[in-house]
Amino acid sequence: MENDIDEIFKNGIESMDTEPSEEFWRKAAEDVLSRGNKANERKVAYWRFFAFILATALFVLGYFAYKMQVGLTKVEQQVAAIKDVRTQNPAKENIIVNNSDKDTKIVTTVKSTNRTEINKKQHTKPLGNIYASTSSYKNNSRQTAAATKDLALTNQSDPIVQSHGNNAIIKDEQKNPASEPIQVSATSSVNKSEPGQTNKTSIASTSERGQTNVTSVANTKEVPVNAPGTIQKDTNAHPKQVSEYVLKANQASSKIMPDTLKTAQKELPLRDSSSKFSISAFFSPDFMAGYKFKPTDSWGSAAENIIKSGEKQSFSYSAGTKAAYAVSSNFSISAGLSYEVFSFNSNTGTVYAQKQSDGVVGYYLTTSSGIVECPYYGVPNIGDSLKMSASSTRRYIEIPVQVKYNFVNKENYQFYLNAGLEVSIGVGETTSMNWQNFSGESGVAVVNGTENSRSTYFSYYMGIGANYKIGKCLSLYLEPGLHTAITSIDDNVSVITYPRLISITTGLTYHLR
Amino acid sequence: MFLKETEEQLIKGCLAGIPAFQQMLYKRYAPKMLTVCMRYANNQEEAEDILQEGFIIVFEKMSQFKMQGSFEGWIRKVMVNKSLEHLRKATKIYPVLNIDKVEDKFISQDDILNTIASKELLKMIQELPPMYKMVFNLYVFEGMSHKEIAAQVGIAEGTSRSNLSDARTLLKKKIHHNVTIETKNIYLKQSAYGE
C-alpha cells in the first residue's frame, strides 16, 4: 500500500501541467524585456567600442600614410626640380636646396648626362628607393653635399667652402688651431645661365670676414659629417698644408623641404604630387529592390506571400567612411565601415494565434528577417485573433571591400566601375507592434530582436559612379549601386530571404598629399 | 509557419540574450515547472513566485549547462532547489508527531485515479506539514534516497524515514476520506436518478 500511495501521487501529478496566471506572464514579459534591454545595451556598447577601435586604427593608419607621403612628396619635388633644371640647362646644373626649418642646405650638382629623365614611377617610390635612384646617378656624376648654415667661424682665417665637381669642398689653410673643429656654413644661390652654358655655383663661408670662392682644389679627402656642419680637422697635416674636406650629403639633410627650390621648380601636376591614399565619407539612401525567397517547407509560399504583400519599406539609409589605395592610375582598392539602417512597415491585418511545434500558442508576426512573437498579455487559444500593424528596423555594421576601375580618367573627373564584397553584422532589430483584440483593448508591444534572424550575412556589390575634383585634395562622387545578398538574412524558418538593395551613394573624398 | 528550434538552439538563443528565445523558454517549461513548484508551495501564487525566481536562476546559470543530459531535468533541479530554499525560509519546520494510523483498507489505484483529479492530489501534498511535504516530494518525485534527503534537508536519516512514513499515512487518510465522499456523492447521484 505504501508503494501504491507513492505511485498514485506520482502517476497522478508527474505529467500534469499547470497553466500560470496572467500575472505570472506579465512578470515574465517584464523580466524578458529588461533582460533583452540589458543584452541590447551590452551589444550596443560592444559595437560602439569596436567602431571606436576601428576608427582609431583607420585614423592612425591614415596619419602615418599621410606623413609618409608628405616626406615622399618633398623628395619627389626635389627630383622633379632636378629634372626641370636639367631640361633647361643640359650642360651642367647646380641646385641649391635650402631648408629654413633645420638650418641646413643641400648642394646638389648634376652634370649633364644623356640619361633618360626620371620617370613618374621614380617619383612615387618610397624614400629609400629615391636614394637608390640617386646613387645610380653616382657614376654619372650626380652627387650631393651638405653644410650647415649660420654657424660663424671663430677664427681669423676662414675655411673655404667650395663647389668642386660633384662635391662641396671645405678648404682649410690650417690657420685655425688644429684642435678646433671647423664650423662651416654655406649660403648659396643658383646661378642659372643660358642653355648650353656652364653654370657656376658659389658656395661660401659666411663668417664675419666675408666670402671667398676658390676654384681649384687638390688632394681632397672625404670625411663624414659627424654632426650637422661639424667636421674634425686633420691634426696631422702640415701647418702650411691645405686640407680639404669633402662633405657628403647626409640622409637627414636630404629629407628637408627646399625653400629656395621654388625658384627653380615648376609646379608639378596635382596627380604627380598627390598620395595614393584617400579617405572618403559617404551617405546613401537605400531602396529595397526585392527579395529572393527560398522556401524550406510547405509553409514557405504562404510566408513568402505574407512578406511580399505586407511589407512596405520606409526610409532607410547607410553612412560611413572608407579608405582607398590607388594601385595604379586606373585601379584602386578600398575598405571601410558603415552603419546601415533598414526600416519597413508590416501591414499584416489580422493575426491568428498559432500553435508552434513546441506546443506553445501565441501571436506571431512573419517578417523578411524572421518571426517576431507579440508579447500579448493574455493566454491565447488557437484561432484567437488580433488586429496588428507593425514597424521594424534592422541595424547593421557593414564592412565593404571593393575594387574600383576608372574607365574614363581625366584630370578633373573620372567615370568608374566599383565592385566588391560586403559583410553585414547585425547590431540590433526592433519591432513595434500595435495590436487590438476582439474586446477592443489595444496596446503596443516593442520587441528587441527577431527570432531566426542571422547575426551576419554576406553580399556582393556592383556600382557605377562619377568622381569630380573640386580642389587639389578633394573630390565629390555619386555612385548608384546594387547590393545582393549571397547568404540569407534568416535561418530555420519556412522561407529564408536574400535581400537586394539599391543604394545611391554620395561621398566626399580627401586625397592625402 | 512553425518555428524549428531544437533545445540546443533554444539554449543558444537564450545565451545570446535574444528576448524571443527567452520568451519561448518560459512558454515551453513554465507550465511543467509550475506543477513542480506547487508540490512544495502552499498555493499557486506562492508557486509562481518560486517559479519566477527559478527562471531568473536558470537564465543566470544557463552557461553552466553542458548540453549533456536533459535540459528539462536541469531546469527541474533548479526549481526544486529554489522550492526547498523557499520552504526553509518561509516556514519553521517542525516534524509532526503522533499521526493516527488509518485503516489499511484496500482501494485500488485505478479507483483513486478515476475519482480524484490530479489537482486534488496536488492539493493534498500542498496541505502536508512542511517537513513531510519536503521529504515526500524528494523521495517520491525526485527519486532521492533517505541518505540524500537527510543531507539535503539537514535532518537525520531516521527522521527522514519516519517523516516519509507519516506523510504517507496522512495522504492515505486524505485519499480515503476523499474517495469515501466521492463514492457517497456518486451513490447519492445514482439514487436521485433512480439508477
**pLDDT computed for residue A435 by the predictor:** 82
pLDDT (tens digit per residue) in B124-158: 898 888 888 889 999 999 889 999 888 888 888 89
| Residue type for position A368 | S
Fold of B1-90: Rna Polymerase Sigma Factor; Chain: A (1.10.1740)
What rounded mean pLDDT belongs to chain A?
A: 66
- The CA-atom distances, in angstroms, between B89 and each of A43, B123, B124 are 37, 21, 22
Residue A122 has pLDDT above 70, yes or no: no
Q: A39 to chain B: which residues are within 8 Å by CB?
A: 16-19
Residue among A16, A297, A364 with most chain B CBs within 10 A, to mutate:
A16
Residue A140 has pLDDT above 90, yes or no: no
> Angle formed by the axes of helices B157-192 and A2-13, to 10°?
70
Residues B179, B167: Cα–Cα separation, whole Å: 18
For residue A136, the 8-state DSSP code is T
Residues A11, A222: Cα–Cα separation, whole Å: 107
- This prediction has a pTM of 0.42
- Which residues touch B109 (CB under 8 Å, ≥6 apart)? A4, A7, A8, A11
- The CA-atom distances, in angstroms, between A355 and each of A17, A64, A141, B3 are 17, 60, 91, 10
Number of neighbouring beta carbons within 10 Å of residue A112 = 16
Q: Return the higher-pLDDT residue of A58 and A189.
A: A58
The architecture (CATH level 2) of B94-195 comes to Orthogonal Bundle (1.10)
Residues A52, A301: Cα–Cα separation, whole Å: 43
Beta-carbon separation of B113 and A11 below 8 A = yes
Taken in order of first residue, the domains within chain A and their CATH numbers are 72-265 (no CATH), 274-511 (2.40.160.20)
Domain boundaries, chain B: 1-90, 94-195
For residue B123, the 8-state DSSP code is H
Least confident of A3-17, A212-226, A438-452, B160-174: A212-226
User: Nearest-CA residue of chain A relative to B175?
Assistant: A5
What is the average pLDDT across A65-91? 55
User: Nearest-CA residue of chain A relative to B32?
Assistant: A17
Q: B4 to chain A: which residues are within 8 Å by CB?
A: 357, 492-493
pLDDT band at A76 (very low <50, low <70, confident <90, very high): low
Nearest residue to A257 via CA among A74, A124, A492, A397: A74
Q: Please, where are the H alpha helices in A269-417?
A: 270-273, 300-310
- Sign of the CA dihedral running B17, A358, A447, A30: negative
- Which residues touch B3 (CB under 8 Å, ≥6 apart)? A356, A357, A358, A371, A451, A452, A492, A493, B24
Residue that has been written with the C-alpha cell 512544495 in this structure: B40
What is the greatest pairwise CA distance in chain B?
Answer: 65
Q: B124 to chain A: which residues are within 8 Å by CB?
A: 9
CA B195 to chain centre: 39
- Torsion on CA atoms A394, A399, A401, A404, rounded to nearest 10: 60
Quote the ipTM score: 0.78
Residue B160 has pLDDT above 70, yes or no: yes
Residue B97 has pLDDT above 50, yes or no: no
Q: A356 to chain B: which residues are within 8 Å by CB?
A: 2-3
Beta-carbon separation of A357 and B104 below 8 A = no
Beta-carbon separation of B140 and A9 below 8 A = yes
pLDDT (tens digit per residue) in A227-259: 344 444 445 545 444 445 444 433 333 333 333
- Torsion on CA atoms B91, B97, B101, B106, rounded to nearest 10: 30
Q: CB-hemisphere CA count at 13 Å for A405?
A: 5
Number of neighbouring beta carbons within 10 Å of residue A396 = 23
Do strands A474-485 and A203-204 pair parallel, antiparallel, or not at all (unpaired)?
Answer: unpaired
Beta-carbon separation of B125 and A18 below 8 A = no
Distance in angstroms between the alpha carbons of the first and the last residue of chain A: 95
